[in-house]
Amino acid sequence: MNEATLDIALMPGDGIGPEVMEAALLVLEAAQHRVGGFRLAFAPLEAGAEAYRRSGVAVSEAVFARAASADAILFGAMGLPDVRLPDGREIAPQLDLRERLGLFAGIRPARLLPGVASPLADPRARDIDLVIVREQTEGLFAERGRGLVTAERAEDRLVVTRAASERLFDAAFALARERKARRGHARVDLVDKANVLGSMAFFRAIFLEQAARWPEIEAGCRHVDATALDLVRRPWDLDVLVTENLMGDILSDLAAALVGGMGFAPTADLGRGKGLFQPAHGSAPDIAGKGVANPTAMILSGAMMLDWLGTTRGLEVCRRAARLVEAAVEHAYASGRIRPIELGGTSGTRAIGKAVAAAVSELDPASLR
Ligand code: ATP
């Protein structure tokens, strides 16, 4: 059988980025070995705040071009509090990459793993399994760093366009269709502030138009404030939540907290034919270099990458590898082999990577749905 080779740009970045990346690579290599039929060719690239400190450029044009031409980008974390642009802002190449690669949809799942305690005491917290789909090219981030600031007044405009909204909603409904195929049910809720802002009423009108084109998926609209309340009160009832850029930014950290913290929140940043996969957390300089960061979010981001590669390239073997990595994470947590330091346990970054890689080697990929 011909083996598909996939070119993966690796951007470990700063702080805990390289540490969690190393652990995730152990798992991805084990999955590739176990399933077979595809090869991940990793191309490490230097970028981020440390790169900026050394060279004055966070992402060089050569690095950008290399990453843009890869089949997918696997990204650790970038930015350090003491490395700043001349105007005082932190280096945030991930936002530039999103813009330049047109990564318009941030897919942010929050699912409670077996053996991990949610801060919610309610036993139904076991059933938390939701996804936030965040618009990432406009909204309140549209004028990032370019808004008006005078001595008396500051303004950042909230921009919503029909084109960006339609492609976002399409991505949310397509995701819901996949979830329905796997879980038997799925619904999409728009999260907005349509009762106050004209831009959000416009966003909602486009959502309702799009929803009519997906009659097999249940759809609804909710306000962002009530959604924050429900994320704490009954998150097990929520499924796919699609929303504006800043609202998605805030709600996805809240959702991560519900399932154990930033170490458990993976992300896929998707555009047309382009995908960047990274943990939702930042470079966490407070714990960098200590080997204590939880790499689970990075490992699950790797699984999302395999799944996306499988779907977009028509490679069933990659989808199977994605299922295997997800099952291995579940298995390693359920068996009590992993107790992250983040949650008061003793498993460090490398130990977690090794435990999941071992589970990958033990499980039978053919037995997974
Ligand atoms: P950014 O603004 O880039 O998101 P930040 O510094 O605000 O960065 P994070 O880097 O995500 O936020 O870190 C927030 C907190 O969560 C920190 O206290 C950090 O130690 C903790 N944290 C983040 N990622 C992990 C991880 N993988 N494992 C354990 N703790 C983590």
Buried-exposed string 85-114: b where 16+ CB fall within 10 A, e elsewhere: eeeeeebbbbbebbeebbbbbbbbbbbbbe
What CATH number should be reported for the domain holding residue 122? 3.40.718.10
- Is residue 121 a part of any domain in this protein? yes
How many CA within 13 A on the CB side of residue 250?
A: 14
Residue 151 is predicted with a pLDDT of 93
Same domain, 97 and 183: no
Minimum CA distance residue for ligand 1 atom 9? 282
Q: What is the position in ligand 1's atom list of the atom closest to the CA of 77?
A: 3
Average pLDDT, stretch 47-56?
Answer: 95
Q: What integer pLDDT is reported at residue 3 of this predicted model?
A: 86
Q: Return the SS3 of 63.
A: helix
- How do residues 284-304 score in pLDDT, each as one tens digit? 999 999 999 999 999 999 999
| % of residues, the chain, pLDDT over 90 | 89
Whether 267 is covered by a domain: the verdict is no
pLDDT at 17: 98
Print the domain residue range for 310. 1-103+277-369
Residue 367, pLDDT above cutoff 80: no
Let me know if residue 86 belongs to a domain: yes
> So what's the pLDDT on residue 146?
80
For the chain, the maximum distance between any two Cα atoms, rounded to a whole number of angstroms, is: 68
User: Confidence class of residue 2 from pLDDT cuts 50, 70 and 90?
Assistant: confident
| Residue 212 to residues 41, 133, 172, 194, 274, Cα–Cα distance (Å) | 42, 19, 14, 19, 27
Name the domain count of the chain. 2
The pick from 262, 278, 301 for probing ligand 1's pocket by mutation, whose C-beta has the most ligand atoms within 8 angstroms, reads: 262
Examine the domain organization and report whether 250 and 285 are in the same domain: no
Q: How much is the average pLDDT of 186-209? A: 97
Query: Measured from the CB, is residue 263 less than 6 Å from ligand 1?
Result: yes
108 within some domain: no
pLDDT in tens, 235-250: 999 999 999 999 999 9
Flag whether pLDDT at 65 surpasses 90: yes
Residues 154 and 218 in one domain: yes
Q: Is residue 264 part of a domain?
A: no
- Do 336 and 359 lie in a common domain? yes
Contact (CB, 8 A) for 40 and 24: no
Confidence check: pLDDT of 316 > 70: yes
Residues 6+ apart with CB under 8 A from 274: 68, 101, 102, 103
State the pLDDT confidence band at 109, using cuts at 50, 70 and 90.
very high
Same domain? 200 vs 134: yes
Residue among 281, 283, 346 to mutate when testing ligand 1 (max atoms within 8 A of CB): 281
Residue 1's pLDDT band (boundaries 50, 70, 90)? low
DSSP label at residue 184: S
State whether 173 and 243 are in the same domain.
yes
* Cα gap 218→224, rounded to integer Å: 19
Residues 248 and 291 reside in one and the same domain = no
Mind listing the pLDDT tens digit for each residue in 203-234? 999 999 999 999 999 999 999 999 999 999 99
* Residue 293 near ligand 1, beta carbon < 6 Å: yes
Q: For residues 151 and 249, state if they share a domain.
A: yes
Give the number of other Cβ atoms within 10 Å of residue 1's Cβ.
6
- The model's confidence at residue 143, banded by pLDDT at 50, 70 and 90, is confident
**Residue 251 shares a structural domain with residue 348:** no
Does residue 240 fall inside a structural domain?
A: yes
What tens digit of pLDDT does each residue of 250-269 get?
999 999 999 999 999 999 99
Residue 268 lies in a domain: no
* Residue 94 in this model has a pLDDT that exceeds 90: no
Atom of ligand 1 nearest to the CA of 15: 10
* Alpha helices (runs of H) in 294-347, residue ranges in sequence order: 296-313, 316-334
Supply the pLDDT for residue 369: 66
Ligand 1 pocket, residue 186 CB under 6 Å: no
Answer with the one of 258, 288, 309 that is the final residue of a domain.
258
Q: Above pLDDT 70, what percent of the chain?
A: 99
Same domain, 250 and 283: no
pTM of the model: 0.94
In a domain, 111, yes or no: no
3-state secondary structure at position 111: strand
Count how many Cα atoms sit within 13 Å of the Cα of residue 135 in the half-sphere of its side chain: 31
Task: Taking residues 142-155, report their average pLDDT.
Answer: 87
Kindly state whether residues 98 and 30 are assigned to the same domain.
yes
Give yes or no: residues 157 and 249 share one domain: yes
Residue (of 260, 225, 278) closest to 106 by Cα position: 278
C-beta of 249 in contact with ligand 1 (< 6 A): no
Q: Among residues 258, 286, 316, which one ends one of the domains?
A: 258
Find, among 208, 206, 205, the residue nearest to 219 by Cα. 208
The last residue of one of the domains, among 211, 231, 258, is 258
